[in-house]
């Protein structure tokens, strides 16, 4: 077998408790490259820290091709981890990660593999995509890392991905860049994926984390807002349900979020709509009407919150 070109051999380094879905979502895309474009030269391998079988979070054990210390020098290293990563560090893996970077490997992180990269100190000052369950840990323990709610991001030689099904979108974006849209679209079709999401699409749950609060009035009001995104309630009615005046609710929101209830409610609704805008499955008019806007009003409100029109946001993905 001829050796893959630089950047075409992906070594998935699997941490104990790694997320199987994130791993398989990325690998399945690479598996189909040879079927869709024979001779492209893409290859993939799996490694564990010890070289011994490694357990996924679902309990299944995977037999790696080799130990992490034997990563081939021409490969892209992709670290995949699970929920235990933000509970304990793995110094041996951190040392290997730093060594791979020194030797010029592109080093990527999928799911909580992003946490392992942060613990190795290679994400300082970089923008990263992280699974929403890891956001609080990264913000508290690695404040120098710029955490985003995006599905995946590229910052220099480092690519990070929130995990889960987003790993499919990430790998398809890589193939679209390297082999063209036709190859990526054919692989997506074989995986029965109707629309490939761009990296700018954001995780809905992570977006909600910006508005975390332990204030009981604000918390209950947010729950009502999130439960009524399509048919919005009047702020006066939300206040009445909480047993406070509208003015009191405004003061609570100003203190907790620096926004008025109307501003925050509009942002929540448009953030939900934005996910549909960016995936491109439905027309902008349909989306606008679903959220109670006319097309022109939707465009104005959207630009006020996100700084660009829905049509511009869609074309950029």
Q: Following DSSP, what letter does each residue of 154-188 receive, concatenated? A: EETTEEEE--TTHHHHHHHHHHHHHH-HHHHHHHH
- Residue at token pair 């895309």: 29
pLDDT digits (tens, 9 = 90+) for 147-190: 887 889 999 999 999 998 999 999 999 999 999 999 999 999 99
Alpha carbon distances (Å) from 61 to 48, 90, 253? 11, 19, 48
Q: Which residues lie below 8 Å from residue 103, measured CB to CB, with a gap of 6+? A: 73
Tell me the CATH architecture of domain 9-190. Answer: 3-Layer(aba) Sandwich (3.40)
> How far apart are alpha carbons 302 and 306 in whole angstroms?
6
Return the pLDDT at 2. Answer: 39
Altogether, the residues listed in the chain come to a count of 317
Say what percent of the chain tops pLDDT 70. 91
Sketch the domain layout of the chain as residue ranges: 9-190, 213-315
For residue 1, pLDDT over 50 is answered with no
Indicate if the pLDDT at residue 201 is higher than 70. no
Compute the mean pLDDT over every residue in the chain, rounded to the nearest whole number.
89
CA distance 52 to 74: 23
Q: Among 34-48, 65-79, 154-168, 263-277, which stretch is predicted with the lowest mean pLDDT? A: 263-277
Read off the pLDDT of each residue in 18-27 and give the average, rounded to a whole number: 96
Per the CATH hierarchy, to which homologous superfamily does domain 213-315 belong? Homeodomain-like (1.10.10.60)
Percent of the chain with pLDDT over 90: 68
Q: How far is CA 29 from CA 100, 135, 197, in A?
A: 24, 27, 14
């Amino acid at each position: 077998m001829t050796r893959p070109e630089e950047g075409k051999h992906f070594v998935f380094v699997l941490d104990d408790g790694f997320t199987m879905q994130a791993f398989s979502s990325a690998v399945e895309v690479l598996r189909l490259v040879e079927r869709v474009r024979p001779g492209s030269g893409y290859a993939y391998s799996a490694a564990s820290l010890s070289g011994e079988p490694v357990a996924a979070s679902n309990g299944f054990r995977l037999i790696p091709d080799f130990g992490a210390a034997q990563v081939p020098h021409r490969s892209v290293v992709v670290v995949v981890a699970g929920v235990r990563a933000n509970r304990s560090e793995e110094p041996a893996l951190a040392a290997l990660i730093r060594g791979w970077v020194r030797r010029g490997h592109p080093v990527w992180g999928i799911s909580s593999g992003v946490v392992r990269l942060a613990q190795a100190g290679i994400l300082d000052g970089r923008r990263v995509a992280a699974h929403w369950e890891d956001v609080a840990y990264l913000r508290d323990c690695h404040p120098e890392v710029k955490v985003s709610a995006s599905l995946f991001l590229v910052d220099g030689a480092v690519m990070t991905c929130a995990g889960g099904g987003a790993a499919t979108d990430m790998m398809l974006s890589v193939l679209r860049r390297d082999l063209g849209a036709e190859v990526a679209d054919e692989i997506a079709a074989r995986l029965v994926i109707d629309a490939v999401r761009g990296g700018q699409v954001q995780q809905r749950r992570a977006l909600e984390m910006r508005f975390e609060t332990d204030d009981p009035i604000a918390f209950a009001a947010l729950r009502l807002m999130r439960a009524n995104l399509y048919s919005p309630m009047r702020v006066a009615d939300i206040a009445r349900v909480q047993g406070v005046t509208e003015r009191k609710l405004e003061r609570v929101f100003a203190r907790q979020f620096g926004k008025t209830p109307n501003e925050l409610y509009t942002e929540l609704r448009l953030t939900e709509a934005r996910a549909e805008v960016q995936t491109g499955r439905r027309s902008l008019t349909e989306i606008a009407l679903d959220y109670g806007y006319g097309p022109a009003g939707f465009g104005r409100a959207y630009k006020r919150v996100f700084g660009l029109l829905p049509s511009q946001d869609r074309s950029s993905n």
